[in-house]
Structure 1
Amino acid sequence: MKGSGNTQQSSPRRAARDVRALALALTVVPIIAGGLAITYLPGWLNAPGASGPPDARAAHAREKTEAEIGQRFQRGVASLNAEQYEQAISDFHRVLELAPRMPEAHVNAGFAMIGLKRYAVARDFFEGALALRKNQVNAYYGLAEALEGLNDLPGALGAMRAYLHLAPADDPYRRKAQSAVWEWEAKVAEERARGKPAPAGKGKDKK
C-alpha cells in the first residue's frame, strides 16, 4: 500500500499486481472445477430457422454459450495476469453479456479497471459483484483499492474491514489488507487532528 514520498504513483501499480493475483486465485477455480450455471437463456436460442427438436437446439446452444464463457473468462484472467488490461476488459465484457449475473466476471473486470486506473468504473464493477453475492470476498478487497484510488479513505476502510471480516485466517492477503487498514486509519486520524474532514472522494477517476 501507500507509504511516503512518491507513493501516489507507485501504489496503484503495486495494488494492480496484488489484485491480479487475488483475482486469479479466487475466480478461475469455479470455471475449471465446477463449470458455469447459466441463469437465463439468450434470446436467439429458439430463433426461427433452427433445425432439430427445440430441446436439442437449446441444449446445444447452452453448450456453445458455456464454452464461450469459459474460454473468454480464462483468456481474460490470462490477460489480467499479463497486465493486458484492455484485452481483459474486452473478454470480461463479453462474459457479462452472456452471463450478467456472474459475480466473478464483475470482480475481474473491476481488477482490470484498477490496472487502467479507472477507479470509478472499477468501483461500479465491485459493487455490482457484491449486489449479486454479498460474500464475494475479493470484491471487498478490490472495492477498497478502487475507493482509495478515488481518495475515499473512509469508504476504503469500510470495504477492507469487510474483507478482513470475511477472509479466512490463512488468506495470503490478510497481512496486506491489515497494513492498509492501519495506514488509512492513521491518515484519517491525521486529517481529523488537523481539523479537516477525511477525504471522501468525488466519485471520478483521477487524471
Structure 2
Amino acid sequence: MSCAPSEEELLQAGIEQMDAQAWPQAVKIFDQLLEKYPSNPTALNAKGVALFQQGKINEAITVFDMAIQADSTSYKPWFNRGNAKMEEENYKAALADFNIASALDPSQTDIYFNRGTALLNMEEYEDALLDFQTVLQSNPNQAEAQFRKAKAELGMNDPLHGMESLTNTVNLDPNNAEAYYLLGITRMSALGQKNEGCADLKMALSLGYSQAETWIKDFCEN
C-alpha cells in the first residue's frame, strides 16, 4: 500500500500554496506532481503562473509552452503565455496568443482587456478600442478599461470621445493622476478650455503627476 499523495491531492496542495501567494512552495509541489505525471496540463499552467509571479518570465514561458502541448484546447495557458510575452514587451507575440485564447473562450473579458492593452502598445488604436468597448459592455464601471479606451480614442484623434472616457475614468477613480493630465491637455489643446484644463492639470499635479507642472507654468500662470 502506498501512502504517497495522489495526483489530485498534490494539485490541490499546490493550488492552496498559490492562494496563499507562496509561489516557490507552489512550484515545489507542482514539480513533485509533474515528476510522476509530466503531462498534467493544470499543474503545468499553474506552475507557469507561480513562476510568472516570481518574475521568472522566461521559465514561465517554457512551462506555458509545455501546458499548451499537453492541452491546446484550454484558453488559460495561451492567455498566460500572452501575459508573459507582454512583460517582455513582445506585443506582437502576445497578441497572437490572446487571439487564440479569445477564440477558445470568447466569454473571458480579461483576454479582451489584455489584448486591447497589447494593441494600444502597438498603436493599433481602432482594434484596441473594440476590445475595451467589449470589456465595458460587460462592466461599464471598470476605471482602467475606461482609461485605456480614452487613450485609444485620443490615438485616433477623437478628442471628444477621449474626454468623455477620461471623465468616466476620474469619476470611477479620482486618484488617476494621468487621466486628469490627459483631460487637462486635451481640453486646452482641442477645445481651448483654459480654465477647466488648468483645473484638471492642477489636480494631476496634486496627485503627483509631475509632467503637469510644465503645462501649468506655460499656460496657467499668466
Q: What TM-score results when the alignment is normalised by the length of structure 1?
A: 0.56
1:74 to 12, 29, 46: 12
2:28 to 51, 76, 90: 90
- Give the equivalent residue in structure 2 for 1:188: 122
Q: State the secondary structure of the residue aligned to 1:125.
A: helix
Write the distance in 2 (CA, Å) between the matches of 1:178 and 1:89: 28
Write the distance in 1 (CA, Å) between the matches of 2:8 and 2:116: 38
Give the CA deviation at 1:107: 0.4
Q: State the secondary structure of the residue aligned to 2:86.
A: helix
Question: What one-letter code is carried by the residue in structure 1 that aligns with 2:120?
Answer: A
Q: Which has the larger radius of gyration?
A: 2
Write the distance in 1 (CA, Å) between the matches of 2:111 and 2:70: 23
Question: What one-letter code is carried by the residue in structure 2 that aligns with 1:185?
Answer: L
Give the CA deviation at 1:181: 1.2
Question: What one-letter code is carried by the residue in structure 1 that aligns with 2:96?
Answer: G
Write the distance in 1 (CA, Å) between the matches of 2:36 and 2:19: 23
Write the distance in 2 (CA, Å) between the matches of 1:76 and 1:187: 34
In structure 2, the gaps of 5 or more residues are: 125-222
Give the count of matched residue pairs: 124
Alpha-carbon deviations, 1:3-32, whole Å to 9, x = none? xxxxxxxxxxxxxxxxxxxxxxxxxxxxxx
Per chain length, whose mean CA-contact separation is higher, i.e. which structure has more relative contact order (CA < 8 Å, sep 6+)?
1
Q: State the secondary structure of the residue aligned to 1:189.
A: coil
Report which of the two has the higher share of helix. Answer: 2
Write the distance in 1 (CA, Å) between the matches of 2:117 and 2:106: 22
In structure 1, the gaps of 5 or more residues are: 1-59, 191-207
Question: What one-letter code is carried by the residue in structure 1 that aligns with 2:35?
Answer: E
- Give the equivalent residue in structure 2 for 1:111: 49
Give the CA deviation at 1:135: 0.7
- Give the equivalent residue in structure 1 for 2:110: 176
Write the distance in 1 (CA, Å) between the matches of 2:77 and 2:28: 19
Would the aligned equivalents of 2:49 and 2:80 in 1 still touch at CA under 8 Å? Answer: yes
Identity %: 18
Would the aligned equivalents of 2:61 and 2:84 in 1 still touch at CA under 8 Å? Answer: yes
Write the distance in 1 (CA, Å) between the matches of 2:20 and 2:77: 20
Would the aligned equivalents of 2:75 and 2:104 in 1 still touch at CA under 8 Å? Answer: yes
Q: What TM-score results when the alignment is normalised by the length of structure 2?
A: 0.53
RMSD of aligned alpha carbons: 1.6
Alpha-carbon deviations, 1:101-141, whole Å to 9, x = none? 11111100001011101111111111101112111221111
Q: State the secondary structure of the residue aligned to 2:6.
A: helix
